[in-house]
């Protein structure tokens, strides 16, 4: 009997979808799961250090956390290579026997692709991205600081998409329906949001396309279409038996999330231009930026090709190193760079580096290497219990530049105080123990 579902703090698409599918389709396999309460934990820990199997025996089902049968993340520093290209949603759907359901398969595959590769949409049109699921969920995360509310609202949005796919061939004037929704929103938000603000130019372009019945209002790609605001709003209309009054709040929630995202996007552009640190190593751009606005990460990719981006939240010290695979570093992996950073972090904490596991995925010396080997993380909204890195931002950037510089000229970089640690990492002869 399941009476609780556990997932990580600040749930993302994969955790939302896992919960949605399990609650809707999992009752036969897990009695009680449909009405189970939600609980949350740091992404890299489980309550009382128990395993997912132990928790399940106590009536707690772990989804997208803990490395169990419904999770793809490493446990400690042990990764399951068979799950490298899977998502928690994918695993849940397969276990429940619903992975091939016509109304679900596009959404399940979209979630898997986003979770494993960062895929958002096939279309290159910014308007299509703006009015899509990944923007909506990002906007929700900016609106809601509470994990339970974020998960609840995310599931409320996701559960409409299958209804759209099921009724896709039903005759409905999609543009007229969306115009009706937009008119209600404009009327109800007067005095709350100034849509004439330049920040909302792209949103107004989408409205213009809707008013003109432009086929370019949405992507023609089948998967893109399935994760658009159109699919969510019209899906809600069918879910609530063509009752506009019950369907409209879903549309309104999505629009508020989109506009929040746009507002923060423009704030992040100004912040990046004023505060970003950009270093060059031959033809590579190494970018560092400190901000409480997570959208500054996307801004860095938009304004400059950041081959490696270091993002730090100045409030809690959470640090993430992003590797851009779609560029000159497409064959580069972060594990060896992670090893150097882990060695230095260990030494700064007066600890001995674990050289046996220093290159492994998972958590080593407080730095978590994602199984994609494109992300190296020390703290995040999903894992709030962490000790901030003792390596200053500028030093971290200089160390990355040194690592990427084929000349390895130690005298040309400002990292002399790390020289012994670098030598220790590069040459086992110089390794020492306390």
Across the strands, what pairs with 345? none
Residue 408 pLDDT more than 70?
no
Least confident of 9-13, 85-89, 250-254: 85-89
Residues with Cβ within 8 Å of residue 374, at least 6 apart in sequence = 118, 322, 323, 325, 334
pLDDT in tens, 64-94: 998 889 988 766 555 666 767 899 999 999 9
Mean pLDDT computed over 380-406: 89
Backbone angles phi, psi at 298, to 5 degrees: -70, -35
Predicted confidence at residue 79, as pLDDT, reads: 60
Residues 373, 332: Cα–Cα separation, whole Å: 9
SS3 157: helix
Greatest mean pLDDT among 10-14, 301-305, 327-331 lies in 10-14
* Cα distance between residue 90 and residue 334, in whole Å: 26
pLDDT digits (tens, 9 = 90+) for 305-329: 899 999 999 999 999 999 988 888 9
The DSSP annotation for 289-308 comes to EE-S-TTHHHHHHHHS--SE
Report the distance separating Cα 434 and Cα 33, nearest Å. Answer: 51
Q: What is the average per-residue pLDDT within 56-60?
A: 93
- What are the tens digits of pLDDT across the range 93-138? 999 999 999 999 999 999 999 988 888 899 999 999 999 999 999 9
Task: Specify the pLDDT at position 412.
Answer: 56
């Amino acid at each position: 009997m399941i009476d609780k579902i556990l997932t990580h703090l600040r749930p993302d698409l994969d955790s939302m979808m896992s919960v949605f599918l399990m609650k809707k389709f999992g009752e036969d396999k897990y009695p009680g799961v449909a009405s189970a309460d939600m609980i949350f934990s740091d992404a890299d820990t489980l309550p009382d250090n128990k395993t997912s199997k132990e928790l399940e025996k106590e009536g707690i089902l772990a989804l997208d956390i803990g490395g169990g049968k419904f999770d793809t993340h490493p446990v400690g520093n042990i990764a399951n290579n068979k799950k490298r290209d899977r998502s928690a949603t994918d695993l849940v759907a397969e276990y429940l026997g619903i992975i091939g359901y016509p109304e679900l398969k596009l959404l399940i595959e979209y979630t898997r692709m986003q979770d494993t590769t960062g895929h958002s949409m096939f279309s290159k049109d910014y308007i299509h991205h703006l009015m899509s699921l990944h923007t909506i969920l990002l906007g929700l995360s900016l609106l809601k600081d509470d994990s339970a509310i974020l998960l609840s609202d995310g599931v409320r949005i996701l559960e409409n998409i299958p209804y759209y796919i099921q009724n896709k061939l039903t005759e409905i004037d999609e543009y007229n329906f969306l115009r009706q929704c937009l008119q209600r929103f404009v009327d109800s938000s007067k005095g709350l949001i100034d849509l004439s603000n330049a920040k909302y130019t792209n949103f107004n372009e989408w409205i213009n396309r809707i008013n003109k019945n432009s086929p370019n209002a949405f992507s023609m790609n089948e998967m893109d279409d399935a994760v658009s605001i159109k699919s969510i709003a019209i899906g809600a209309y069918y879910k609530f038996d063509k009752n506009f009054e019950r369907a409209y709040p879903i549309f309104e929630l999505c629009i508020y999330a989109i506009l929040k995202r746009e507002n923060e996007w423009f704030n992040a552009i100004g912040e990046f231009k004023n505060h970003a640190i950009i270093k060059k190593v031959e033809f590579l751009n190494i970018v560092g930026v400190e901000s409480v606005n997570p959208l500054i990460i996307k801004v860095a990719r938009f304004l400059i090709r950041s081959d490696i981006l270091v993002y730090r939240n100045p409030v809690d010290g959470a640090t993430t190193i992003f590797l851009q695979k779609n560029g000159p570093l497409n064959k580069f992996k972060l594990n060896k760079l992670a090893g150097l950073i882990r060695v230095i972090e260990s030494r700064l904490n007066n600890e001995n580096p674990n050289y046996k596991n220093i290159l492994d995925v998972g958590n080593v010396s407080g730095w978590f290497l994602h199984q994609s080997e494109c992300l190296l993380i020390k703290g995040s909204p999903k894992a709030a219990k962490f000790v901030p890195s003792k390596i200053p931002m500028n030093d971290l950037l200089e160390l990355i530049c040194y690592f990427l510089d084929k000349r390895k000229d130690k005298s040309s970089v400002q990292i002399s105080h790390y020289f012994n640690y670098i030598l220790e990492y590069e040459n086992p002869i110089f390794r020492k123990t306390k």
